[in-house]
Chain A
Amino acid sequence: MTLSHQFRFAARAFKRDFKAGELRVLALALIIAVASVTAVGFFTDRIGRAMERQAADVLAADLLATSGLALPEAIAETAKENGLSIAEHTRFPSVVINQLDESQLVAVKAVTSGYPLRGALKLTTLDAPAEPAPLDTPAPGTVWIDTQLKNILALEQGDTLTLGAKDFNVTRLIQFEPDRGENVFEIAPRVMMNADDLQASELLGPGSRARFTLLMSGEVAQVDRMNDWLKENMASEVRVQSVRDGSPQLKRALDRAQQFLGLASVVTVLLAGAAIALAVRQFSLHQADASAVLRTLGATRGEVITWLALRLSMIVVVASVVGIIIGWFAQLILAQLLVTWFSMELPTPGVWPPIIGALTAFIAVAGFGLLPVLRAGRVAVMRVLQRDYTGLDTSVWVTTLIGMIATYVVVLMQSRDWMLSAIVVAGVVLMLGVFALFGRYIIKLVRSIAGARFRLSVAGLQRRAGSSVVQLAAFAMGIMALLLIAIVRVDVLEAWERDIPADAPNVFVVNIQPDQVEGFDQRLQSQDIDVAGIFPMVRARLVSHNGVSTLSENESTNNNERQQRRARREYNLTYSDEPPPAGEVVAGQWWATDGSAEPAWSIEEEWAGQRGYKVGDTLTFKIAGVEVTAPISNLRKVDWESFQVNFFVVASPATLAQMPATFVTSFKIDSDFSTTTSGWAREFPGIAALDIGAIMARVKTLMDRASLAVEYVFLFTVLAGICVLLAAVQSSQSERIRESALLRALGASHNQIKHAVVAEFAILGAIAGFLAAFFATVVAWALSRFVFELPFEINIWLWIIGVVGGAVGISIAGFLATRRVLTTPPVVALRNTA
């Protein structure tokens, strides 16, 4: 047969297969796999990029390069070469003087046009704080200020402020500054000016404490390229920050959202893969007879294999096209739903998702179908004369191996993580093995205890021991996925959302002087504001580790700029008898809480890890010219999502109590921030109250959106799970039709057979549900513990719904899928099996 002949021949068979419903389950499984992979791909792509874009708001850019010294020209040049948009800002502390000669320490930010590259400022005029003002850059000769400075210096629209050697007009009130959250502890009120005024104002002399930042934004690939370049060439010159290493809260929220989405699509692909495997096997078994006939009539083995492979390829092509179209529309609808949630246009999806979707289908069918097709091609021709000739060499191991490789590849395409994919595949194989092993024993057990009433059903299970175990494993896998989605998802998402406690503080007050602590505490009490505590905060520079200067600890010791920068870096330390509320000691011991503790440091785990510090090492900090040395007595884990006041370094009181300190506190207010804090600045000069409610709200919405996205994505997983159940039920359909025909011919009533079928599926469903609940619990525990790092609770509903739902669901599905068993006249069924 020529190839075109073979193609026509296969196409005709394919058309018939389709009409006859031979490939229905396979097509369905493939369509779901492709649609889900495509939709999840498109969706993750767009939402992921939108979420990153939102996170970028917090940096006001996609990428930042910051230094304590003027930035090398090469950075801006390279950024431009890479096609990135750029802007700059320079931050430094200074003092402003108003027309009444009152002065105030301020945090100046001199910006170039284009700032912010991501996110937007919210501006109003000082006389109409409710009406938004147009967005641009402060005009030369003007400054913009925040509410804090307006309150402290009682400023009005158009007032003059002296800053350095130049006078400026106050023209705008900054209601929101997207990247303010990046420096929550930048305590002084904000003054924003045009960078062109820097020179005239003579603000930046040699040795001034300025931070120079280049803001960059652009396409993901451009930003990644620039990020790599910076890390390679400028690591010692500048601090590089991208969306991913921005705020720790946002970073975790983003990471988790991506983990959830990735997991959802991996589970979907796995389930669809299982359905595909079952359906392809079924297809190949059905083709054994046809293959034998074709061989008898003169077809070669190669022609038969080509014929089968072409038919499978055709279904993959058709299913891929349909799946991609469905996937496209699904993500379109989802994106439409979410577009109102994201205050931005979603980025357009890329071309990879449909390609990966179609590839997934091809690989799954090739992986699971290759061997069955080869076997169908090798079927003993004598089968046409004597049915007991199977000629199928059933190498379970080779099938499993090829299937595992295919599964690994499709999971890898989804997760893009070699290790995770290996774990997932090993886990699934282990799980299926356990399902099969336990299933066999449980079926035996049920067989021994079943009463007369269920004898027919249990006999059915017994007759089909092999396929019963396959079905059981497939059912258990499907039910497990559904349980994980229905219950565990909710548990995990809730635990995640609980991560931001309802009483998380939304106001930070810093720079409280020691003599103001008592008065301020009373003031808070009089306003009915509860605080967890007012903590001392000591500014310090780290000078040595185990007696070795931190300046000489690193390799590039000759780098003066770097030494200067490191030496200049200041940390906020605190001291306390008690461990901070939001954290736990992970190494070493907390010191005595009765005030008798020797000098010691408690260091945040990650901070210590990055620098290679261990319990027992000594650290020396320089505080107001005095060097303080003490050993590290413990490492702490800090829950940054608690939004409580947290410190990288906590000292025992004996270490720092004598050092100059300011105090800091945080609390939650429900009333308006400006009203609540309006008199404070004048009553307690120097203190700064910061509204972080906006940042928290941002993290919270991000979480809400991510969970919503995850819920939609899981819809596909549910469909894939149902598909596995269908495929499993279908796999025994023809056998059941034959058996029931025989039983009916022998006199069994319609009802008897119906009951037997329903009871058999119910028993299978209950066993599968039990196994599924067990594994869902294990998986949920593992996910909570290792992936999402969230607390885990055993959910009893998992077991109840698993067993009862399994029995009811599978018996209904089984009955519906095998109703042909009852509607096929016995004579037809028996004639076909002759």
Chain B
Amino acid sequence: MTNSTQSTESEHSGPVLTGAGIEKSISGPSGLLTILHALDIEIQPGEATAIVGPSGSGKSTLLGILAGLDTPTNGSVHMLGQNLSELDEDERARLRAGKVGFVFQSFQLLPGLTAHENVMLPLELSNAPDASERAMHSLEQVGLADRSTHQPLQMSGGEQQRVAIARAFVANPVLLFADEPTGNLDSATGYKITDLMFSLREKLGSALVLVTHDDKLAARCDRRLLMGDGKLAAA
């Protein structure tokens, strides 16, 4: 992917992600409903931030806006020095390609592709060289090299999430978003997945924005922000 956004990473110093005055309202059956109230947030390079809060508090909505998957009603988000509101959807996608990783609660692996192909995806999307080798290496790091030809449906939930983690880290992302990564897993598997995710993050120095309602998981982050009534507070 060759475009102007590619150069931003090297030029950029300072926070990898900044949200200022983020507001999100949606029109509901009983009029306009405000989910996020003028939130400010800043994520430094390599920093791990947990956003905790009860279900329905707007954590995932905030994550979506910070990752450029959705747009705020008011306010701005700067990712790697770029103002997301100045970019259209495709430009935001290009900005993410190869630099931002995701780990989802429901894994979000493509069912038609093998583990290896799923992991290769971000590299292919950013035209990175040696995609196949790097994907294999990433799978080895999560201990699933021997399952590389298996499809998601042939794997357990824990294995699928490990593939998702391999995919998230394969492009050495500057920034990693994780949405309830252990939400669909039993606690033992959840711990293993968390260990894996944190050790890879530390190794690569990626910043992490983690949304969870699991306090233990949140405790492993550098700082915790509490989400309640659409507002953020340090926890």
User: Which A residues are closer than 8 A to B by beta carbons?
Assistant: 1-2, 5, 9, 12-13, 16-17, 20, 22, 289-290, 292-303, 380-382, 384-386, 828, 831-832, 834
- Is B157 in the interface zone, CB < 8 Å from A? yes
Partner of B93, one of A2, A290, A295, A828: A295
Q: A289-B108, A300-B90 are in contact. List 17 more A-B contacts (CB 8 A).
A: A2-B127, A5-B127, A13-B113, A20-B112, A293-B110, A294-B110, A297-B102, A298-B93, A298-B100, A298-B125, A299-B93, A301-B93, A382-B64, A384-B69, A386-B60, A386-B64, A828-B153
User: Residues 64-97 of chain B: 1 if any A CB is under 8 Å from the residue's CB, otherwise 0?
Assistant: 1001011000000000000000000110011111
Partner of B124, one of A5, A831, A834: A5
Bound form: Cα–Cα A380–B110 in Å: 17
Query: CB distance B70 to A381 under 8 Å?
Result: yes
Bound form: Cα–Cα A297–B111 in Å: 16
Chain A residue numbers with a CB within 8 Å of B167 are 297
9 nearest A-B pairs in the assembled complex, by CB-CB distance: A298-B97, A16-B112, A300-B90, A381-B69, A298-B96, A298-B125, A385-B60, A382-B70, A382-B64
Within B214-228, the residues touching A (CB, 8 Å) are: none
Bound form: Cα–Cα A832–B151 in Å: 13
- Is B20 in the interface zone, CB < 8 Å from A? no
Interface centre among B61, B122, B124 (most CB of A within 10 A): B124
Bound form: Cα–Cα A384–B167 in Å: 15
Chain B residue numbers with a CB within 8 Å of A386 are 60-61, 64
Interface centre among B69, B112, B122 (most CB of A within 10 A): B112
Bound form: Cα–Cα A293–B112 in Å: 13
Bound form: Cα–Cα A153–B122 in Å: 99
Query: CB distance A298 to B179 under 8 Å?
Result: no
- Is B106 in the interface zone, CB < 8 Å from A? yes
User: Residues 99-128 of chain B: 1 if any A CB is under 8 Å from the residue's CB, otherwise 0?
Assistant: 010101010111111100100011011110
Chain B residue numbers with a CB within 8 Å of A13 are 110, 112-113
B77 to chain A, nearest CB (A): 14
Query: CB distance A16 to B113 under 8 Å?
Result: yes
Residue of B nearest to A302 (CB): B90
Query: CB distance A385 to B90 under 8 Å?
Result: no
User: Which B residues are closer than 8 A to A by beta carbons?
Assistant: 1, 60-61, 63-64, 67, 69-70, 89-90, 93-98, 100, 102, 104, 106, 108-114, 117, 121-122, 124-127, 151, 153, 157, 167, 179, 184
Interface centre among A295, A296, A298, A302 (most CB of B within 10 A): A298
| Contact A381/B127 with A16-B113, A299-B97 known, Cβ cut-off 8 Å | no
Partner of B127, one of A1, A290, A295: A1
Partner of A298, one of B1, B70, B106, B153: B1
Residue of A nearest to B112 (CB): A16
Query: CB distance B112 to A22 under 8 Å?
Result: yes
Bound form: Cα–Cα A76–B19 in Å: 90
Bound form: Cα–Cα A297–B114 in Å: 17
Bound form: Cα–Cα A296–B1 in Å: 15
Residue of A nearest to B152 (CB): A832
Interface centre among B94, B100, B108 (most CB of A within 10 A): B108
Interface centre among A20, A292, A382, A834 (most CB of B within 10 A): A382
| Contact A297/B63 with A381-B69, A382-B70 known, Cβ cut-off 8 Å | no
Query: CB distance B102 to A384 under 8 Å?
Result: yes
Partner of A297, one of B64, B112, B125, B184: B125
Chain A residue numbers with a CB within 8 Å of B153 are 828, 832
B50 to chain A, nearest CB (A): 16
| Contact A294/B121 with A2-B127, A381-B70, A384-B108 known, Cβ cut-off 8 Å | yes
Chain B residue numbers with a CB within 8 Å of A297 are 96-97, 102, 121-122, 125, 167
B67 to chain A, nearest CB (A): 8
Q: Please name 5 pairs of A and B residues whose Cβ atoms are closer than 8 Å in the assembled complex, sorted by A.
A: A2-B127, A294-B121, A297-B125, A298-B94, A381-B93
Bound form: Cα–Cα A52–B76 in Å: 76
Partner of A12, one of B63, B69, B117: B117
Residue of B nearest to A387 (CB): B106
Residue of A nearest to B156 (CB): A831
Chain B residue numbers with a CB within 8 Å of A381 are 64, 69-70, 89, 93
Residue of B nearest to A383 (CB): B69
Query: CB distance A385 to B121 under 8 Å?
Result: no
Query: CB distance A385 to B104 under 8 Å?
Result: yes
Residue of B nearest to A833 (CB): B106
Query: CB distance B110 to A290 under 8 Å?
Result: yes
B6 to chain A, nearest CB (A): 12
Chain A residue numbers with a CB within 8 Å of B93 are 295-296, 298-301, 381
Bound form: Cα–Cα A298–B153 in Å: 24
B209 to chain A, nearest CB (A): 12
Bound form: Cα–Cα A295–B112 in Å: 17
| Contact A1/B112 with A294-B121, A297-B97 known, Cβ cut-off 8 Å | no
Bound form: Cα–Cα A2–B128 in Å: 11
Query: CB distance A834 to B94 under 8 Å?
Result: no
A282 to chain B, nearest CB (A): 14
Chain B residue numbers with a CB within 8 Å of A293 are 108-110
Chain B residue numbers with a CB within 8 Å of A382 are 64, 69-70
Bound form: Cα–Cα A17–B117 in Å: 14
Residue of A nearest to B131 (CB): A5
Bound form: Cα–Cα A313–B190 in Å: 42
Query: CB distance A20 to B124 under 8 Å?
Result: no
